[in-house]
Chains A and B, each alone.
Chain A
């Protein structure tokens, strides 16, 4: 169904809006004065009965704060709250302060659908920042399409979806995978790959794309394995890896399995740090390393768009602000940063549209760009995903990544990649 909407999306590109280039937190004091000038009246800016008053606008945050997914989603909630606080401090959106209604999806997909509906129908929120797993997004998607809401979805995911009611602020699979594999082929002279993943849609779809790409390059996949979510015994697959001797282990293991896999890999003598074993992952962010332990994964390579150690001014300000709000020990992973983009992209689109109306925001969204993104520059594609660079990081013992490569160009998001399906 998702593909159907491709043709409906507006095609025009928009000029970048000046106000979005303002660095977060830099001009707190004068910002209200600036934005006050072009504040449209509520009747103008809200023709569809959203929860917008003369000085506030209400948005929703919908993540799991309980249940198994709370582990992953906490960072996203924190990032979204930080972004909203910063936006409020710099004068809000169209002169209105953002109020947040937070709902708990409780790691349960019908609950996500239920809460999404509550946010849209009862609370009339102007935008929702939320969801993490594909399953939760799939569950809320019909709700957003039916009640015409706007969801900012932060996770890197498998693609194969494009909804007029979702802005995907994380990378879809091809953005993450192709650049990473190209890099490892060039840099490590890799010829053979062993694909490994948790058994569900994202790792399977991603590995499918990876396999196509590897085979297109004339290289070889020597093994492909999937283990159930939550599996904790990887010695057998480690033996298989030993037997097949791949140049690269391409691992998309998630959740608690991650911890078990890397610990057992290290214990089995496949030390990622000694230069003999190359492992490339797209599923381990700094968040996951907290559980795995830096010393167990040191030397692994990860391909994604953001690392906490990224060296630029935007990111330094972002990391400092995040730590100030959520504690010195906080770590920030790829998804957390993508979640942080959501409110800013929404603000930019609203101000571009001059209205909170969902339809106008949607129309204004393609072409919206953000120079202030911690990851650098991003722009919304007509297919509602982001143009972004892909980077490769090398895991350090302290749980951070050294960024050792970034693509020169922005990677074009392509949720329905021709030739990779």
Chain B
């Protein structure tokens, strides 16, 4: 497939393709990080994860409209406001859901799957009633559009860079929160041994709620970021659910680092295969490979034992 191209062109294409893989990697990490906390750490199968992402996307949509209508001068900066709002609104809804529903189900993980599926249907209908059945277009500030032209062939999309930077930032913050703060060690203590954590005076109910809210909040930010690259509609959240769960499980569900590593492996193989095969077959092969590897190695590729 490379006849008739110069080495330079081929080099550029590989550079571009590598970059495409990195963007996909960032997207996967953003999708999966929230779920890794909720599913990997807490054991809750949150089928409504995609809907929390879309909630963030709708928050971004509303914010952009508010800025465009009432303070057009500040429009360039709305995206940061939107992401913060998306985090807190998704986290707030998450905390409510945890209080109303999830906390009754911790001892029945498979039942959380059914209940959150019900929740996802309800959220979809709410989105549809509020924002209409059609997709909404989120207008991006100009500085997020377009690309840097490095050479004739290599163009680096700005929003791709933005997603990558955001992924780094969020991963780092999550790391700080969970592994370097007092709150984080309490949260992990509850996850690892609820009874003992309670016995040493940690308010386990509150920790559960905040951990769940954190996961949902990250989903909200992810959804907000995805308005740059994907669609925002009532049912768009379902598009993400299979990929997201596979990334988390493939990484070894209990390890956040594993989730990131698995996002890297899956995204790189998918984008490489997409380049050499047709799109659908690449997708099938990627999913199939992941499933087969999971069958051979059910604990996931990068299982770090957190529980001792």
* Interface residues, chain A, with chain B CB atoms under 8 Å away: 65-68, 70-71, 74, 199, 225-228, 230-233, 235-240, 242-243, 255-260, 263-264, 266-269, 271, 287, 289-296, 399
Contacts and interface: CB of A to CB of B under 8 A. Distances in A.
Given A269-B146, A271-B146, A71 B280 contact: no
Contacts of B229: 232-233, 260, 263-264, 267
Interface residues of B, number: 52
A207 to B, nearest CB: 12
Contacts of B280: 199, 226-228
B168 interface: no
Given A225-B279, A230-B239, A293 B233 contact: no
A295 B149 CA distance: 20
Secondary structure class of chain A's binding surface, majority of residues: helix
A239 B17 contact: yes
B136 A290 contact: yes
Given A228-B283, A264-B157, A239 B13 contact: yes
Given A70-B133, A239-B16, A267-B229, A293 B23 contact: no
A239 B230 contact: no
A233 B139 contact: no
Nearest to B13: A243
A135 to B, nearest CB: 17
8 contacts: A70-B133, A231-B279, A233-B23, A236-B275, A239-B20, A289-B137, A291-B134, A295-B145
A68 B133 CA distance: 9
A266 B9 contact: no
A54 to B, nearest CB: 38
Nearest to B27: A233
Given A67-B235, A70-B128, A228-B283, A233 B24 contact: yes
Contact of B5 (A199, A236, A243, A293): A243
Contacts of B158: 267
A293 B24 contact: no
Interface in B113-150: 125, 128, 132-140, 145-147, 149
Contacts of A240: 275
Contact of A226 (B19, B235, B279): B279
Interface string B270-301: 11001100111011000000000000000000
B153 interface: yes
B283 A227 contact: yes
Given A71-B233, A260-B230, A268 B157 contact: yes
A70 B136 CA distance: 14
Nearest to A237: B279
Interface centre among A232, A236, A263 (most CB of B within 10 A): A236
Contacts of A271: 146
B77 to A, nearest CB: 18
Interface string B156-199: 01111000000000000000000000000000000000000000
